[in-house]
Every structure is written in structure tokens, then in C-alpha cells.
Chains A and B, each alone.
Chain A
Amino acid sequence: MARANELPTQDIQAGATALDEDIPRILRIMEASSLEDLGWSRPNKLSLLVPMAGIHQGNEDHYLLRLGFQAYRKWPPSAQFVNPETKGYVYPNDQRFVPKLTSPECYTHIAYRPTPQATPVQLVCCSTTLEFYEVLHHVKPEHLWRETDTFLTTIMAIRKALTSFYGGRFSDNGQ
């Protein structure tokens, strides 16, 4: 189980193995025979790309979520909304590829600084993402990531925020 006020440690081999194990379980429950059936892809052993969508003022906006499994399963997957062309995120150029989520359970920051001196990072502020623990965010014991959780927990938490707490796309000026 993840612990509050503890920096996550990476274990690439364990992460890749855990992802190998979890993909079939999640495909089964989602009644899909492959990642492609779901529109997902696995560009390398430690990453998944998952399209997401939110509806704001009648318009459907599309996003691409990149999950990273470098510290999985002791810790949740990294979660970053990325530029669909580069599959990466560079602030401030790519901030328009991030949805504004304002759920008390899942909130997005395009440039979060845990300390004034720190390099800004995109933070999907949710106890089911790795970055949430990397910035040593306050977390209640009942919200801590458990090793029985899977990346499906992360995807569904973000999807839920996109359904009910979506405020449109971040604009180029960060608003």
C-alpha cells in the first residue's frame, strides 16, 4: 500500500510485469479482446495511451491520457494528458491538451509547483495517480492507493471527473 509523505520509488521490471498481468483482467471485465478494441495502445512496456472525452457547453473535446507504470503496482500509474502528436507534455506549449477538471476527487493543474523552487509539472491531482504522491500531496488514509487497485481505478476516477466536473479545455494562456 502507498504511504502518505513517502516518495514513490521506481521498479521498472515490477511495473512492466504488473501491467502484463493486469491488462487481461481489465480486458475481460470490459468485454474486450484487445487494447485496440478499446481504442487504447501500449507504445512500450511501461506506457498505455488512453483516449478520453469530455462534454462542455454541448461540445465534445478529446484528450489523450498517458499512463506510466514505472512504479506500479506499489504505487499508482503516472497520469499525464499529452499532446496527441508528440505523446508528451511540455509546459506551456501543450497546456491546451489538458482538460480543466475541478472535482474534489480529481483536479488538474497545468503547472503545479510543490515548492516555489520546483520545476512545474502537470498534476492530475487524484490519489490514483503517481504524481499526487510525488508532490507529497496531503492524503487521507482511506484514499491511499492499495496494491490491489489497478490502472482501471485511475482511468475511471479521471473519467468520472470528466463527466461531472469538466470545465472545458485549458486555453493557451492557461485560463
Chain B
Amino acid sequence: MGGSLTEASGECTVAENSELDSKEPLATAVHDLEAAEARLAHARAEEAAAGRDIELAVEEIKDAERDRDTVEVHVTHVNEVEKASFREKLASTLQKVWDISYIELKIPHEPKDVFQTAGEHPKSLMNHLGLTLDEARQQKVIENFCFGIASETGGA
């Protein structure tokens, strides 16, 4: 009845308009929400991508630092005629390099073994085992990172 009266009085359009008016802000809000959610998803994807980029960059920095702080070491076992190469930190001592050499060579450490430089002019490093590779190089105890292991000999 009222509807009719409203229709009759021409108030129907106003009511409908009023209903539409009340729906538009909701639609807008939903639209805005969806847009915001889309932006958030995009931002999250960007954040994830940036996180991966950061991890990659950190790894690259670590690799660069590793290359800068380590050197390739070469060790020859004279008696067993075997050779090994491995990377080692410049901060590692000659004792540590000697110890690791046996692991890399897969040869047991004999009691009378001597750690020495390699090449044409080998010299014993037994009095310098506490020096780091860097210190040994700076003090000219070693000229390079090539080493030898040989058994002590008897003579004199």
C-alpha cells in the first residue's frame, strides 16, 4: 500500500535512489579493499623478491670475502709421491695447514715427518708452525703457498 502511495506520490524514485546511494559507497569500499589487497599482494611479492636479492647479494659478498681471505695451498708428500691442493684461510697457522694436509692427502702423520717449503730450495718450517700463512708470507718465511712433507733423515 505504502509502495503504491509512494509510487503515486513520486517518492518511489527517491527511495530507490537512496538505496542505490547506500550501495555505491559499499561497492566503492569493496573495490578499494580489493585494490588495496592487490597492492599488498604485489608489495609482498616485491618484498619476497627483494629478500631473495638480499640473500643472493650476501652470498656474493661472502664469496668475495672468501676469495680475498683464503688462498690455494699445494702440498707434496715427498716420501709417498702424492700431492693435494685445497683452499685455506690466510689466518690459519702453518700447524693447521700441516694437519689438514694429511686429511687431504689421506696419508697418516708419521712421528718423524717434517713440514717444509717446496721447490728447489726446501727449508724446514718446524720452528714457525705458530705463524699464520699471512704472517709467514710477510716475514718471508715462505715465498708462496707450496709446501712439502718429508721424513726426517739421518746423517752427519
List A residues at the B interface (Cβ < 8 Å): 22, 25-26, 29, 53, 55, 102-107, 125-128, 132, 139-140, 142-143, 146, 148-150, 152-153, 156-157, 159-160, 162-164
With CB as the reference atom, state the residue of chain A lying closest to B110: A142
| A152 closest partner in B (C-beta) | B78
Nearest CB of B to A56, in Å? 13
Q: Quick one: which of B81, B120, B121, B122 contacts A150, CB cutoff 8 A? A: B81
For this complex, 16 residue pairs linking A to B, each with C-beta atoms less than 8 Å apart, are: A25-B81, A29-B76, A55-B121, A102-B156, A105-B156, A125-B155, A126-B155, A127-B155, A139-B154, A142-B151, A142-B152, A143-B151, A143-B154, A148-B80, A156-B78, A157-B153
Q: Measured between alpha carbons, how far is A22 from B81 in the docked complex, in Å?
A: 9
Known pairs A103-B156, A107-B155; list 9 more (Cβ under 8 Å). A55-B121, A105-B152, A105-B154, A126-B155, A127-B153, A149-B79, A152-B81, A153-B78, A160-B122
Query: Roughly how many angstroms separate A139 CA and B152 CA in the complex, as a whole number?
Result: 12
List residues of chain B with CB within 8 A of the CB of A142.
Answer: 111-112, 151-152
The 9 closest A-B pairs by CB, nearest first: A143-B154, A126-B155, A127-B154, A163-B121, A107-B156, A125-B155, A105-B153, A106-B155, A160-B122
B82 within 8 A of A: yes
CB-based contact A143/B116 at 8 Å: no
Q: Which residues of B contact A (CB under 8 A)?
A: 76, 78-83, 111-112, 116, 120-124, 148, 150-156
CB distance from B105 to the nearest CB of A (A): 12
CB neighbours of B81 from chain A (8 A): 22, 25-26, 29, 150, 152
| B83 contact from A29, A104, A128, A139, Cβ within 8 A | A29
**B79 close to A29 (CB less than 8 A):** no
